[in-house]
Structures are given as structure tokens and as C-alpha cells.
Amino acid sequence: MSERPKILVTQKIPADAYSLLHAIGEVEANMDEGVIWSPEELSRRAPGHDYLLCLLTDTIDARLLGACASASPRLKLVANMAVGYNNIDVEAATRQQIAVSNTPGILSDTTADLAFALLLATARRLPEAERFLRAGKFTGWGPLLFCGAEVHGSTLGIIGAGRIGQLMAKRASGFDMRVLYYNTKCLPADIEDAYQLTYGGLDELLSQSDFVSLHVPYASSTHHLIGERELALMKPSAILVNTARGPVVDEKALVRALQSGQIAGAGLDVFEHEPAVEPELLSMENVVLVPHIASASLKTRARMATMAAENIVAHVQGQRPPNQVNR
């Protein structure tokens, strides 16, 4: 009987995934909740495993992949528990004949929920108002007390109208919002009609939108997609929402735009140098900050973990992982 495959799980994940993995292999797992292994620790532990189940906060670079490919047993698959996989050097993995998989689709609705929640919270100044009340400063209703931006009937600009961007547009329809979108190419007419989307250029979208929501993957082409020039095109009353990836926005340029009143506010789930945040953002009342929780519902995270495990199970059984991203 052949030896059972060795599987390394780099961070504590929802429980359902472990039963799938234990059924097909020998599992070594980081069971300390909230603990992320350093690159050095990961480099020490990963070689000698057939499969690696990792998360977006793990750096799987060419050096690590090379060590894992030359070890015995050699690494066969990196299963990322995320839709994005910019934490993995996919080209290096492909050169080493290591498959890479992700967990697309299942977190789209949950992420769109959080993006719209950030839009509402920033527009209506909810965290600021709550802090005010909790501090005992509320002495009664006032006609100008925490007046915020109107959401219904306003214009939403969506940059990146993939699954999540389209679902953001679906939520906007309930608020009778006009929705513009910018993509590298136009969507099919039936999708535009279904989500009431109007295509436009990036500059046009930025200058016309009351809210700009980012839903692009991170790549060299989207690094600092929103920088000083783009922020200058936005309305002084506009709000930027980012649930995509932190480096899509030039964070220092965003700080300057917020400080100068070039734009009115921002709702951010991700940060350029995560987990570090530009210190100036932390003290701004017109910014809503949350710690990368777009997919953080119990149901979604459990399904993500299970899907990552299912990719490993498929490979062990001689099948192509259903969510493999490289050939």
C-alpha cells in the first residue's frame, strides 16, 4: 500500500476542512489561531510535504517552491484559501510542475456585502457617530448632527466588473443608484442589462461618480491604479471604497487627498503594506477602516476552507483540481 500523502496547513482554518484532509493523508497543521508562520518558519516546515494549504497572508515565493520541489516527497499542489493568489509565485510553481488552486466564486456575495456596508458606513458617518454616542457626547437631536452623504439616487462607479463588481451593482440597484463601470473590456450586453451597468472610461467614471468601489485583482497592471492623478479627478464630495487589494491604491496619495479635502472620505478593508496602515489614516474621522474581513462570514470562510481541501482531494485522486489556476 502506498504511503499516505503529507499535507501541511499553514494557519488554523474552519473545522470541516480537516476531516476531508485527514481522510486522504497525514496532516500537519498550525493550530494556533491568529498565528502566521514567518517566512523562515514556513521554509523550515514546508519541504517534504506533498500538499500545502495556505492563505493569502503566506508568502509562497520561488525560493520556497524550489526547496519544496527538490525535497522528498516533492510538493505537488499549493491550495490557496482565497480567490486571489498574488501571494504565490505562480510562474515559479508552473516551472517546478507544481499546481496552484484558489477558491473563487463562493466569497463574491459576502465581499459585495462588506463593500456596500463600507460605502454606507462612510457615507452616513456611522463609526464616527457611534464613537460620539459611546463617549457620552449625545445630548439630543440636532438638524446638522452627523449629516452625511446621500446614497440613494447617487452615482456609483465600479472599477472591475467581475463577479464581485456585478454583485455590488446588484446591491446598488436597491438604492436606485446609477452605476458606471470600467473594465479592460466591455461586458456582454445581457450582463450590462441585467445589472443596469453603463460602460465608460476610467477618467469619466472617476469624475462622475459619487462613490468609487474597487474590485480588480492585484497585478503589475493594477499597482497604484488609483494614485494622485486619479484621486484629483474625483469629486470633492466623493468616497473611495477598496475591498480589492491594498496596493491597488497609492496609500500615501490617498492620505494627501483626504487631508486636503480633494475627496470626502474612504472605506478600506485592505491596505498597501498590510497589516501596517498609514498612521494618518488611523486618526481620520472621514475614513472607515476594517481589518481585511470582506469574506469573514462563518459560512463563507467554512466553504472556502472546504473548497481548498477539495482541490487537494481531487489531486490525490488523480483528477485535475477544479480550481487550478495554472496548467
Residue 266 and residue 240 in contact, taking contact as beta carbons nearer than 8 Å: yes
H or E element that contains 54: strand 51-54
Distances from the Cα of 26 to the Cαs of 22, 29, 55, in angstroms?
6, 10, 19
Active site residue 95: no
Catalytic residue among 28, 204, 228, 274: 274
Cα separation of 250 and 253, whole Å?
5
Cα separation of 89 and 86, whole Å?
7
Catalytic residue among 178, 223, 256, 292: 292
Residues 6+ apart with CB under 8 A from 214: 159, 160, 225, 226, 240, 241, 242, 243, 244, 248, 249
Active site residue 245: yes
When computed from its CA atoms, the radius of gyration of the chain, rounded to whole angstroms, is 22
Beta bridge partners of 324: 101
What are residue 9's phi and psi, to 5 degrees? Answer: -110, 120
Catalytic residue among 245, 301, 303, 315: 245
Active site residue 274: yes
- Would you please indicate which residues are annotated as catalytic (active-site) residues? 245, 274, 292
